[in-house]
Structure 1
Amino acid sequence: MVYGPRVSYRELATRPVLIWSLVTVAARLPVAMTPLAVVFLVRERPGGYGLGAVLAALYVFGEVAGAALLGPRVRPGRARRQLALGLATGAASYAGLGLLPGAHPVVLGVFAVLAGLLPAAASGCLRMLLQTQLDERQMAPALSYETMLNSGVWALAPAVTAALALQVAPQAPQLLSALLMFAAAAGLWALPAGWHADDADRAGASVGRLLARAWPVFVTGCAAMTLLALAELVLPALLEQRGVAVGWSGPLLASFALASAVGAFGYGVRVWPGRPRTQGLVLLLGVIGCVAAMALVPGAVGIGIALTVAGGLQSGVLITRNLRLRERVPVSAHGAGYSVMYAASGAGYGASAVLSGVLLTVASPSVTVLVGVGLTLAFTAVAEWGERRPVEPAPAARQAASPVRKVRR
């Protein structure tokens, strides 16, 4: 497999990639908006902030369950049809939240779970639809481009959500999310119908067995998102502990997202030494060090520098884990693998959110961050131990060097 880009980003500037980008933004912006949007939706109610947190947690639970259960069941040759159905029904769930903001909390909870669950297969499968239109030597820059696109979406989402909820109506973000998801479902018909998947490349092994063999990659993804949750969720409390205005959390997180986009661009612009496994480990340890520094340095400047460097390194972790997954499993299992990776990442984020919430009630924010860093180091050690164990060579190792075959529309 070619691990460094042998092409420039200009080769990705094609009409199919542009269409894919528009569909991807329309599908992912609602996902990035929802956790904050549901808080704005119900904050005027008695106990509204608590209810909003519960709805956000239910949404994330739906995402994790949907990615783990529905993603591996997408049929490669008919992916477009299944993804369109998931996005359209997810859009209907968003519309339910937006049109019934005063409904009973249980009803809102059901809508939140469905909004997370039904479209959850889209993330990994959209990546497969991008790869279908490229060849192997374009994979690293393509994954870098996708990470930049995601960083832009996550940087834009809070501002769009707050502006709509405060200036238009509390339910406006949900209604926009419904429209975007319907648009993404329609836009899928301008993309390939699916991707080629010859089950012979699995050498008789089931998809579940192949994915089980790649478990260290999923643990790495979980560890990376644990760090991201720490950086985002504990930051306001950490700033307050340092005597810094909590309002600085917004600009600091924006710098994190911007640095992530810059880091993704830097990874894709040249060939870097080492294999994805080695690169990912070094980058992840760098992010761990930066997050630990956040808990120890005084003042907003030091926290901002640590957070910005962490963002630049974090994007490389996300790219290398996807490259490593492609190395560990054959092409026919890539779509399922991406979906399980998404679920593992969501589980890591959710677990870190719960841990942070519990620890902040009994410990200082800096201690909370350091405990989370210790947990992440434990995840990293387990993943590295799993990587070093001898495993049967993946069927993908032989065939991944050949171009991804295209599926006719």
Structure 2
Amino acid sequence: MTYRDVASKRVMVWACTAVGARMPVAMAPLALVFLVRERPGGYSLGAVLAAVYVIGEIVGAPVLGMRLRPERARAHLAVGLAAGAVGFAGLGALPGAHPAVLAAFAVVAGAAPAAATGGLRTLLTALVPERAVAQAMSVESMLTAGVWALSPAAVAGLALGVAPRVPLVLAAVLMACSVGGLRFLPAAWGGGDEREGGASQLRVLAGAWPVYVMGAASLTLLGLSELVLPALLEQRGIGVGWSGPLLAGMAVGGGLGAFAYGLRTWPGRLRTRSVVLMAGTAVCVAAAALIPRTAGIAPVLVVGGALQSAAMLTRNLALREALPPSALAAGYSVMYAAAGAGYAATGSLAGALLQVVAPSTAVLAGVGLTVALTGVGWWGEARRAAGSAQGADTAVALGPAADGCGVLGPEGTAVRGRGDAERRL
């Protein structure tokens, strides 16, 4: 169970395809601000367009994710990514268009490919042996950290050095290339025989709500760090230009944390690991709010990024245990939407608090919200696990009577197997 199990040509093709699909997502909010910033009220318009884009993602991810079918996965992903490329191309081709037109393109660019994250993650786990799933997800997290570390610099450099529209044109080209990359990947993944009806799948996905809540909590800390850091640095008398390097360091820490998580099997239940990692991340972010100097803020943000990345990995693994294979792509998409909602909620809370309190106080309030969400998620997972254990015990008790022998019936075996899955990790 090492990273050698993940090293293959198909995974390399997947990685190139994933970069093409995710780089535009990472570039979009800042690119939209640069696109219209020279207009009257340009920064406000850019913020609105970025918000519209994110809303498109939050709505599109669960809606389109639930429509993904294992047996037609590649075709569904290709259509969504192609439509997203059209949305980005429209923004890049018509930078002077009416704001309503730009908002429409932003919605398409955000919503159409929103299920790609969940679909590509599910496809990745189908390309590797079952024993290497944790390592594959660690590789995905490292790739994502690299994309998010590179994107702001690429957007700023191209928008200021070439033209404001160029980052969005590049985003369209990258997303179109990802459609071509799908041709070299499997057309489907396993789990097609377990396809659920719409209402049934919705119930299955809703049953994993504690995982989504804790996943959202993980992203609230990341959002808090990114959105409040410039104001916090200004409060400390530190140049706001340091926010870029500090956030890049946090992204690098995220990549290192994902790599370290995949090196070995860690003890404890997934929900316990999540709580420990989230608590450590919260401590780091709170420390960054209280430390007065850059030399102290930088290392705690790097450590916080590492812990946050590992915490998000435990959430993805927990979701894999909570859902049947046919619902995984939809589940990952719902997780993506929940994380986006958590990020947006933190931004709204921080923006409101910054009007009345100091940035350090706003950060601490956001940390308190994160701790509360983590507690709710842990309680829900513990309650769900207790219910599963009770169901397994009932199956054990009824199995012999139902079969007329001392062997578990088929349902008992299935329930028992699901109950033990988390303990094996």
Q: TM-score per shorter chain, which class?
A: over 0.9
1:245 aligns with 239
Deviation track 1:218-251 (CA, whole Å, cap 9, x = no partner) reads 0001101111100000000000000000000011
Tell me if structure 1 keeps the 8 A contact 2:69–2:192: no
Q: Per-residue deviation at 1:60?
A: 0.5
Tell me if structure 1 keeps the 8 A contact 2:69–2:326: no
Q: Are 2:398 and 1:398 aligned? A: no
Tell me if structure 1 keeps the 8 A contact 2:49–2:102: yes
1:123 aligns with 117
In structure 2, the CA distance between the partners of 1:178 and 1:250, relative to structure 1 (3 Å rule), is same
Q: Are 2:81 and 1:62 aligned? A: no
Tell me if structure 2 keeps the 8 A contact 1:94–1:174: yes
Q: Are 2:38 and 1:19 aligned? A: no
Tell me if structure 2 keeps the 8 A contact 1:327–1:396: no
1:220 aligns with 214
Deviation track 1:310-346 (CA, whole Å, cap 9, x = no partner) reads 0110110111001111111111111111010000000
In structure 2, the CA distance between the partners of 1:137 and 1:157, relative to structure 1 (3 Å rule), is same
**Percent identity over the alignment?**
58
- Separation in structure 1 between the aligned mates of residue 100 and residue 223 of structure 2, nearest angstrom: 26
Tell me if structure 2 keeps the 8 A contact 1:330–1:400: no
1:102 aligns with 96
Q: Per-residue deviation at 1:110?
A: 0.9
Q: Per-residue deviation at 1:73?
A: 0.9
For 1:192, what is the secondary structure of its paired residue? coil
Q: Per-residue deviation at 1:109?
A: 0.8
Deviation track 1:22-57 (CA, whole Å, cap 9, x = no partner) reads 000000000000010000000000111111111111
2:167 aligns with 173
Q: Per-residue deviation at 1:399?
A: 6.9
Q: Per-residue deviation at 1:203?
A: 12
Q: Are 2:339 and 1:320 aligned? A: no
- Separation in structure 2 between the aligned mates of residue 335 and residue 200 of structure 1, nearest angstrom: 13
In structure 2, the CA distance between the partners of 1:124 and 1:397, relative to structure 1 (3 Å rule), is farther
Quick one: which amino acid aligns to residue 182 of structure 2? L
Quick one: which amino acid aligns to residue 391 of structure 1? G
The higher-RCO structure (CA 8 Å, 6+ apart) is 1
Q: Are 2:304 and 1:285 aligned? A: no
Point out the more displaced range, 237-246 or 370-379: 370-379
2:187 aligns with 193
For 2:387, what is the secondary structure of its paired residue? coil
For 1:234, what is the secondary structure of its paired residue? helix
Q: Per-residue deviation at 1:396?
A: 8.1
- Separation in structure 1 between the aligned mates of residue 251 and residue 419 of structure 2, nearest angstrom: 31
- Separation in structure 2 between the aligned mates of residue 106 and residue 274 of structure 1, nearest angstrom: 51
- Separation in structure 1 between the aligned mates of residue 417 and residue 176 of structure 2, nearest angstrom: 39
Equivalent of 2:32 in 33, 38, 42: 38
TM-score (norm 1): 0.93
Aligned length: 396
Gaps of 5+ in 2: 393-413
Tell me if structure 1 keeps the 8 A contact 2:5–2:128: no
Deviation track 1:69-114 (CA, whole Å, cap 9, x = no partner) reads 1111111100100110110011001000000000011111111111
Quick one: which amino acid aligns to residue 291 of structure 2? V
In structure 2, the CA distance between the partners of 1:391 and 1:29, relative to structure 1 (3 Å rule), is same
Point out the more displaced range, 190-199 or 151-160: 190-199
Deviation track 1:339-359 (CA, whole Å, cap 9, x = no partner) reads 100000000011111111111
TM-score (norm 2): 0.90
Equivalent of 2:381 in 383, 387, 390: 387
- Separation in structure 1 between the aligned mates of residue 220 and residue 93 of structure 2, nearest angstrom: 34
2:144 aligns with 150
Tell me if structure 2 keeps the 8 A contact 1:288–1:377: yes
- Separation in structure 1 between the aligned mates of residue 221 and residue 271 of structure 2, nearest angstrom: 19
1:4 aligns with none
Quick one: which amino acid aligns to residue 104 of structure 1? H
- Separation in structure 1 between the aligned mates of residue 181 and residue 195 of structure 2, nearest angstrom: 31
2:201 aligns with 207
Q: Are 2:389 and 1:370 aligned? A: no
- Separation in structure 2 between the aligned mates of residue 57 and residue 140 of structure 1, nearest angstrom: 33
Q: Per-residue deviation at 1:10?
A: 2.1
Quick one: which amino acid aligns to residue 387 of structure 2? V
Tell me if structure 2 keeps the 8 A contact 1:37–1:165: yes
Q: Per-residue deviation at 1:275?
A: 2.3
1:3 aligns with none
Tell me if structure 2 keeps the 8 A contact 1:330–1:397: no
- Separation in structure 2 between the aligned mates of residue 350 and residue 111 of structure 1, nearest angstrom: 20
In structure 2, the CA distance between the partners of 1:314 and 1:12, relative to structure 1 (3 Å rule), is same
For 1:206, what is the secondary structure of its paired residue? helix
Tell me if structure 1 keeps the 8 A contact 2:321–2:418: no
Q: Per-residue deviation at 1:398?
A: 2.9
- Separation in structure 2 between the aligned mates of residue 26 and residue 200 of structure 1, nearest angstrom: 30
- Separation in structure 2 between the aligned mates of residue 58 and residue 282 of structure 1, nearest angstrom: 34
In structure 2, the CA distance between the partners of 1:281 and 1:76, relative to structure 1 (3 Å rule), is same
Q: Per-residue deviation at 1:205?
A: 8.6
Q: Per-residue deviation at 1:287?
A: 0.4
Q: Per-residue deviation at 1:260?
A: 0.7
Point out the more displaced range, 378-387 or 30-39: 378-387
Q: Per-residue deviation at 1:170?
A: 0.2
In structure 2, the CA distance between the partners of 1:132 and 1:397, relative to structure 1 (3 Å rule), is farther
Tell me if structure 1 keeps the 8 A contact 2:221–2:282: yes
Point out the more displaced range, 274-283 or 163-172: 274-283
Tell me if structure 1 keeps the 8 A contact 2:281–2:308: yes
Equivalent of 2:224 in 218, 230, 235: 230
- Separation in structure 2 between the aligned mates of residue 401 and residue 193 of structure 1, nearest angstrom: 31
- Separation in structure 2 between the aligned mates of residue 197 and residue 400 of structure 1, nearest angstrom: 20
